[in-house]
Amino acid sequence: MGFLGPEATIAEKLGLEKDNRSNFKAQFGNFATSVDGVFAAGDCRRGQSLVVWAITEGRQAAAAVDTYLSRNDPNAAGDITPSGAGLVQPVAA
């Protein structure tokens, strides 16, 4: 049957805005939805597409989530913090 769209129950419970194709509305580049702290990428944001697009958006969304959780200014590094920035650093043994 394939991908039929994002789960409607989740959108309703969280109050997420959806586009005219019933995908979650999220800003491209930082993948933030209309609900603070909720991000969307891949098929639930753009609709059914190639897996390489979902992988790419997933990586970019992960960077945006890292920025959000680190409470960095999202505009400081062109909307996306470089990979690894803001992550907890290992403690020497």
* d(C-alpha 16, C-alpha 36), whole Å: 10
Instruction: Note the pLDDT of residue 81.
Output: 45
Q: What is the pLDDT of residues 8-19, one digit of tens each?
A: 788 888 888 888
Considering the entire predicted model, what is its pTM?
0.60
Rounding to the nearest 10 degrees, give the CA dihedral for residues 38, 56, 3, 32. Answer: 20
DSSP string covering 34-63: SSTT-B--THHHH-S--HHHHHHHHHHHHH
30 pLDDT higher than 80: yes
Domains of the chain: 8-70 (3.50.50.60)
Token pair, residue 9, equals 């129950």
Q: Give the pLDDT confidence of 39-70 residue by residue, as tens digits.
A: 988 888 877 878 888 888 889 899 888 888 88
